[in-house]
Structure 1
Protein backbone atom coordinates (compact mmCIF):
# COMPACT_ATOMS: atom_id res chain seq x y z
CA UNK A 1 0.00 0.00 0.00
CA UNK A 2 1.43 3.35 -1.05
CA UNK A 3 0.74 6.17 1.41
CA UNK A 4 1.53 9.72 0.30
CA UNK A 5 0.72 13.30 1.16
CA UNK A 6 0.90 14.25 -2.53
CA UNK A 7 -2.00 14.38 -4.96
CA UNK A 8 -0.23 12.41 -7.67
CA UNK A 9 1.88 9.27 -7.72
CA UNK A 10 4.44 9.59 -10.52
CA UNK A 11 3.91 7.00 -13.27
CA UNK A 12 0.58 5.77 -11.88
CA UNK A 13 -2.92 6.27 -13.18
CA UNK A 14 -5.75 5.63 -10.79
CA UNK A 15 -9.41 6.01 -10.06
CA UNK A 16 -10.67 7.47 -6.83
CA UNK A 17 -12.46 5.08 -4.48
CA UNK A 18 -13.22 7.55 -1.71
CA UNK A 19 -12.32 9.02 1.64
CA UNK A 20 -10.72 6.78 4.24
CA UNK A 21 -9.77 7.68 7.76
CA UNK A 22 -8.54 6.35 11.07
CA UNK A 23 -8.44 7.80 14.53
CA UNK A 24 -7.23 7.04 18.02
CA UNK A 25 -8.10 8.74 21.28
CA UNK A 26 -5.42 8.37 23.90
CA UNK A 27 -5.75 9.30 27.55
CA UNK A 28 -2.98 10.22 29.91
CA UNK A 29 -1.88 7.78 32.55
CA UNK A 30 -2.01 9.30 36.06
CA UNK A 31 1.58 8.30 36.85
CA UNK A 32 2.78 9.52 33.44
CA UNK A 33 0.90 12.79 33.95
CA UNK A 34 2.54 13.28 37.36
CA UNK A 35 6.07 12.55 36.19
CA UNK A 36 5.68 14.68 33.07
CA UNK A 37 4.32 17.50 35.24
CA UNK A 38 7.55 17.39 37.21
CA UNK A 39 9.52 17.41 33.95
CA UNK A 40 7.52 20.42 32.79
CA UNK A 41 8.85 22.43 35.77
CA UNK A 42 12.44 21.80 34.67
CA UNK A 43 11.75 22.20 30.96
CA UNK A 44 12.64 19.99 28.02
CA UNK A 45 10.92 17.33 25.99
CA UNK A 46 8.03 15.47 27.57
CA UNK A 47 9.26 12.11 26.25
CA UNK A 48 6.37 10.04 27.62
CA UNK A 49 3.88 12.28 25.80
CA UNK A 50 5.96 12.23 22.63
CA UNK A 51 5.95 8.43 22.72
CA UNK A 52 2.20 8.41 23.42
CA UNK A 53 1.53 10.58 20.35
CA UNK A 54 3.81 8.49 18.13
CA UNK A 55 1.90 5.37 19.17
CA UNK A 56 -1.44 7.09 18.68
CA UNK A 57 -0.46 8.28 15.18
CA UNK A 58 0.64 4.76 14.27
CA UNK A 59 -2.66 3.25 15.44
CA UNK A 60 -4.66 5.87 13.52
CA UNK A 61 -2.60 5.24 10.36
CA UNK A 62 -3.06 1.47 10.64
CA UNK A 63 -6.83 1.94 10.96
CA UNK A 64 -6.90 4.16 7.87
CA UNK A 65 -4.89 1.57 5.89
CA UNK A 66 -7.21 -1.21 7.05
CA UNK A 67 -10.25 0.74 5.82
CA UNK A 68 -8.56 1.35 2.44
CA UNK A 69 -7.68 -2.35 2.08
CA UNK A 70 -11.30 -3.31 2.75
CA UNK A 71 -12.26 -1.07 -0.18
CA UNK A 72 -9.65 -2.71 -2.43
CA UNK A 73 -7.40 0.34 -2.63
CA UNK A 74 -3.83 0.21 -3.90
CA UNK A 75 -2.81 3.54 -2.39
CA UNK A 76 -3.92 6.44 -0.24
CA UNK A 77 -3.13 9.92 -1.51
CA UNK A 78 -3.45 13.38 0.06
CA UNK A 79 -2.94 11.95 3.57
CA UNK A 80 -3.35 14.47 6.38
CA UNK A 81 -3.14 14.30 10.17
CA UNK A 82 -4.76 16.44 12.81
CA UNK A 83 -4.99 16.36 16.56
CA UNK A 84 -7.51 17.66 19.02
CA UNK A 85 -8.36 17.54 22.67
CA UNK A 86 -11.56 15.58 23.29
CA UNK A 87 -11.90 15.85 27.05
CA UNK A 88 -9.46 16.89 29.75
CA UNK A 89 -6.38 14.64 29.82
CA UNK A 90 -6.98 13.02 26.44
CA UNK A 91 -6.18 13.75 22.81
CA UNK A 92 -7.22 12.42 19.44
CA UNK A 93 -5.08 11.78 16.41
CA UNK A 94 -7.10 11.64 13.21
CA UNK A 95 -5.68 10.81 9.80
CA UNK A 96 -7.48 10.80 6.49
CA UNK A 97 -6.83 10.56 2.81
CA UNK A 98 -8.22 9.53 -0.55
CA UNK A 99 -8.18 5.81 -1.37
CA UNK A 100 -7.35 5.04 -5.00
CA UNK A 101 -7.20 1.99 -7.25
CA UNK A 102 -4.56 1.73 -9.97
CA UNK A 103 -5.81 1.37 -13.56
Structure 2
Protein backbone atom coordinates (compact mmCIF):
# COMPACT_ATOMS: atom_id res chain seq x y z
CA UNK A 1 0.00 0.00 0.00
CA UNK A 2 1.43 3.35 -1.04
CA UNK A 3 1.33 5.58 2.04
CA UNK A 4 2.64 9.15 2.00
CA UNK A 5 2.55 12.23 4.22
CA UNK A 6 2.11 14.56 1.26
CA UNK A 7 -1.31 15.59 -0.14
CA UNK A 8 -0.49 14.10 -3.53
CA UNK A 9 1.78 11.47 -5.06
CA UNK A 10 4.29 12.69 -7.61
CA UNK A 11 3.70 11.11 -10.99
CA UNK A 12 0.31 9.66 -9.97
CA UNK A 13 -3.16 11.03 -10.58
CA UNK A 14 -5.75 10.72 -7.83
CA UNK A 15 -8.90 9.33 -9.42
CA UNK A 16 -11.11 8.90 -6.35
CA UNK A 17 -11.12 10.15 -2.77
CA UNK A 18 -12.68 7.69 -0.32
CA UNK A 19 -12.38 9.84 2.79
CA UNK A 20 -10.52 9.79 6.06
CA UNK A 21 -9.10 6.53 7.36
CA UNK A 22 -7.49 5.93 10.74
CA UNK A 23 -5.90 3.43 13.04
CA UNK A 24 -5.14 3.56 16.75
CA UNK A 25 -2.98 1.60 19.14
CA UNK A 26 -2.61 1.93 22.90
CA UNK A 27 0.38 0.49 24.68
CA UNK A 28 0.97 0.25 28.39
CA UNK A 29 4.35 0.67 30.01
CA UNK A 30 5.02 -1.98 32.59
CA UNK A 31 6.57 -1.25 35.98
CA UNK A 32 9.97 -2.82 35.24
CA UNK A 33 10.39 -0.93 31.99
CA UNK A 34 9.50 2.30 33.87
CA UNK A 35 12.16 1.63 36.49
CA UNK A 36 14.88 0.87 33.93
CA UNK A 37 13.89 3.91 31.85
CA UNK A 38 14.27 6.16 34.90
CA UNK A 39 17.71 4.70 35.60
CA UNK A 40 18.74 5.33 31.99
CA UNK A 41 17.42 8.91 32.23
CA UNK A 42 19.71 9.50 35.21
CA UNK A 43 22.84 7.87 33.76
CA UNK A 44 22.15 8.67 30.10
CA UNK A 45 21.44 6.49 27.12
CA UNK A 46 18.37 5.42 25.25
CA UNK A 47 15.33 3.67 26.69
CA UNK A 48 15.29 0.70 24.30
CA UNK A 49 12.20 -0.91 25.81
CA UNK A 50 10.15 2.23 25.29
CA UNK A 51 11.49 2.71 21.79
CA UNK A 52 10.55 -0.86 20.85
CA UNK A 53 7.05 -0.47 22.31
CA UNK A 54 6.59 2.85 20.51
CA UNK A 55 7.66 1.40 17.16
CA UNK A 56 5.27 -1.54 17.63
CA UNK A 57 2.38 0.80 18.48
CA UNK A 58 3.12 3.01 15.48
CA UNK A 59 3.18 -0.01 13.15
CA UNK A 60 -0.07 -1.36 14.64
CA UNK A 61 -1.81 2.00 14.06
CA UNK A 62 -0.53 2.14 10.47
CA UNK A 63 -1.58 -1.48 9.86
CA UNK A 64 -5.12 -0.72 11.10
CA UNK A 65 -5.33 2.33 8.85
CA UNK A 66 -4.11 0.32 5.85
CA UNK A 67 -6.64 -2.45 6.56
CA UNK A 68 -9.47 0.11 6.61
CA UNK A 69 -8.18 1.56 3.32
CA UNK A 70 -8.12 -1.86 1.65
CA UNK A 71 -11.72 -2.52 2.77
CA UNK A 72 -12.78 0.67 0.98
CA UNK A 73 -11.13 -0.48 -2.25
CA UNK A 74 -8.53 2.29 -2.27
CA UNK A 75 -4.93 1.66 -3.27
CA UNK A 76 -3.10 4.52 -1.52
CA UNK A 77 -3.23 6.86 1.47
CA UNK A 78 -2.22 10.52 1.25
CA UNK A 79 -1.76 13.12 3.97
CA UNK A 80 -0.74 10.58 6.61
CA UNK A 81 -0.27 12.03 10.09
CA UNK A 82 0.88 10.27 13.26
CA UNK A 83 -0.15 11.61 16.67
CA UNK A 84 1.08 10.48 20.08
CA UNK A 85 -0.87 11.06 23.26
CA UNK A 86 -0.32 10.03 26.88
CA UNK A 87 -3.29 8.18 28.33
CA UNK A 88 -3.24 8.16 32.10
CA UNK A 89 0.12 7.76 33.78
CA UNK A 90 1.37 4.62 32.11
CA UNK A 91 -0.17 4.31 28.65
CA UNK A 92 0.53 5.80 25.27
CA UNK A 93 -1.87 6.10 22.34
CA UNK A 94 -0.63 6.32 18.75
CA UNK A 95 -3.12 7.46 16.10
CA UNK A 96 -2.55 7.32 12.36
CA UNK A 97 -4.87 9.22 10.01
CA UNK A 98 -4.89 9.92 6.31
CA UNK A 99 -7.09 10.11 3.23
CA UNK A 100 -7.81 6.92 1.30
CA UNK A 101 -7.55 7.40 -2.46
CA UNK A 102 -7.38 5.46 -5.71
CA UNK A 103 -4.45 6.46 -7.90
CA UNK A 104 -3.71 5.57 -11.51
**Normalised by the size of structure 1, how large is the TM-score?**
0.94
For structure 1, which runs of at least 5 residues remain unmatched after alignment? none
Q: What does residue 51 of structure 2 align with?
A: 50
* 2:85 is the counterpart of 1:72: no
Q: What does residue 29 of structure 1 align with?
A: 30
**Normalised by the size of structure 2, how large is the TM-score?**
0.93
Q: What does residue 2 of structure 1 align with?
A: 2
Structure-2 separation of matches of 1:89 and 1:71: 34
Q: Give the number of equivalent residue pairs.
A: 103
Deviations 1:8-35 (A, max 9, x none): 1122222110000001010101111111
For structure 2, which runs of at least 5 residues remain unmatched after alignment? none
When the two chains are superposed, the root-mean-square deviation of aligned CA atoms in Å is 1.1
